[in-house]
Amino acid sequence: MDGSVKPAVAGKGLARTAGALAGIKVVDLTRVLGGPYCTMVLSDHGAEVIKVEPPQGDEVRDWGPPFHEGDASYFIGVNRNKRAMALDIGKPEGQAILMRLLETADVLIENFKPGSLEKWGIGYEDVLAKRFPGLIHCRISGFGPDGPLGGLPGYDAILQAMTGLMSVNGDQTTGPMRLGTAIVDMGTGLYSAIGILMALHERKTSGLGQYLDMTLYDCGMALLHPQAPNYFLNGARPKGTGNPHPNLVPYDKYPTKTCDIFIASGNNGQFRKLSEIVGRPDLADDPRFANNGERNVNRVALTLILAEAFAQHDGKELALRLIRNGVPAGPVLPVDEAMAAPHTAHREMVTELDWYKGIGTPIKFSRTKGGTRRPPPKFAQDGNDILGQLGYTAEEIAALEKSGVVHTKRRI
């Protein structure tokens, strides 16, 4: 048995095949967001992921409300398709179980403080690479093991601040602002998934695994586009511009009779079409707005005119009419309306299975369709099954529980 689950027959956004990563086994020691998000991406497409939590559990199980049977939405949102057990790997007996898990694993991913595995005597270079030469070991940390900030813990908002991302969000009235989503954590999870897949591909040639040193700091920096290239070229410090584009007009959020819409007009043809659709064809011939350069100089006047023209329209209808006529536009929707949008359903971007409801996988294959296979696990719900598959007897499992190596209930 490999612990895989056959696709269910009822639900939405469900996996209908074994998946592109079927046969890949991942031992996941990560907590919080970046690592779990990475392993959920892998599990959506068939990788067998065994989530090994510490005795106190993944702390985001408590990051609510809202909750489902004691687990917070924060945990539920990034842990589907995984099996779970709880293990104290600070103890030799726990390390022995981990070693047995790794005997058949392709990937180990963890986000302990750099040096933790080495402290326990199970570091990659000295132990894991020699004992499991094909193993891919991905470590996610805040800053890496060395350098001026080496070994320090990393948190999404702090890294948004330190890498410059916060400085280019917001505008002159707000000052630097945190992005509403944990972009550094999630970006690191995605970069880590890409790195793991690269290592798996390279292993086909070399037969060897390798170590991935993934940091929130590096990944936050990597997301600074186009601000960093602009800075490298002109030497000017990038600033937050809010909704308006610094170079293109009209490229902003505008009110309508029913909702805000966003317009992203990038050329003169689009501006002429926009002017016609909102009943102001004269704007395209006005010398103040004849080309993007003039529109940029006169953006305040144009913004006032457009706001008056848009005020007569239903926002959603206008945005749809614009985009269907080649003018980039869309309504500014709250999350609940975005989730209920017809195209969201068409793309299966809301997935459901039993009680579970979440965001579906954005990776769409023609043959090896991925998706939801099982709801997020309760704490240690699969521990006995996993240990049994590793060859432990019922008596041995009971002894491991009694000694505090294996846990079936969260340690407070």
3-class DSSP assignment, residue 194 = helix
The per-residue pLDDT for 224 is 96
pLDDT of residue 10: 81
Q: Check residue 241 and give its pLDDT.
A: 86
What count of other Cβ atoms lies within 10 Å of the Cβ of residue 340?
Answer: 11
Homologous superfamily assigned to 25-224+347-407: Crotonobetainyl-coa:carnitine coa-transferase; domain 1 (3.40.50.10540)
Any idea which residues carry the catalytic annotation? 185
91 backbone φψ class: left, alpha, beta (φ>0; ψ -120 to 50) = beta
Distance CA 387, CA 100 (A): 9
Find the helix packing angle between 156-163 and 183-206, rounded to 10°.
90
The confidence score (pLDDT) of residue 302 equals: 96
Angstrom distances, CA of residue 361 to CA of 62, 200, 253, 328, 339: 25, 21, 29, 25, 14
Q: What pLDDT, on a 0 to 100 scale, did the predictor assign at position 2?
A: 46
Is residue 298 helix, strand or coil?
coil
Q: Which pLDDT belongs to residue 5?
A: 47
Question: Cβ atoms within 10 A of the Cβ of 273, count?
Answer: 17
Average pLDDT score over the chain = 95
pTM: 0.93
Strand order in the sheet with 82-87: 211-215, 136-141, 107-110, 25-28, 48-53, 82-87, 406-407
Spatial CA neighbour of 40 closest among 395, 356, 404, 332: 356
256-302 tens-digit pLDDT: 999 999 999 989 999 999 999 999 999 999 999 999 999 999 999 99
Q: What is the CATH number of domain 251-334?
A: 3.30.1540.10
Please, are residues 110 and 76 in contact by the beta-carbon 8 Å criterion? no
Per-residue pLDDT at 245: 87
Q: What is the pLDDT at residue 247?
A: 85
Per-domain residue ranges for the chain?
Answer: 25-224+347-407, 251-334
In this structure, are residues 193 and 187 in contact, taking their beta carbons and an 8 Å threshold? no
pLDDT tens sequence across 160-191: 999 999 999 999 899 999 999 999 999 999 99
- Whether the CB-CB separation of 159 and 184 falls below 8 Å is answered with yes
Q: Are 215 and 221 in contact (CB under 8 A)?
A: no
Residues of the chain with pLDDT under 70: 1-9
Q: What is the pLDDT of residue 6?
A: 52
Q: Would you state the pLDDT for residue 9?
A: 58
Identify residue 252 by its one-letter amino acid code: D
Spatial CA neighbour of 112 closest among 80, 90, 79: 90
